[in-house]
Amino acid sequence: MTKNVRIEVCVDSIESAMIAQQAGAHRVELCDNLTEGGTTPSAGTIEFAREKLKIALNVIIRPRGGDFLYSALELE
């Protein structure tokens, strides 16, 4: 039985995204600040990635590093 494996690579730069694409990834998850667990990259970085990549692009939406427990104020 053949399995259809899809590869997603988490990256923090356009350069890394391009390398992932060239290496055969099916999509990338674009992040910033991976040392904090990943945060939302800038609008300019997202736009540039969309221009350069031919594979699917997912963008992490996370306002800050740390845990995933957000206060009521952060959710406003």
Residues in a beta bridge with 58: 29
Q: What is the pLDDT along the chain (76 residues), one digit of tens a residue?
A: 668 889 999 999 999 999 999 999 999 999 999 898 899 999 999 999 999 999 999 999 998 988 888 899 988 8
Q: What is the model's pLDDT at position 26? A: 97
At a CB cut-off of 8 Å and minimum separation 6, what does 45 contact? 14, 30, 32
Q: What is the model's pLDDT at position 68? A: 86
Output the six-digit token pair for 48. 């540039």
For 27, the 3-state DSSP assignment is strand
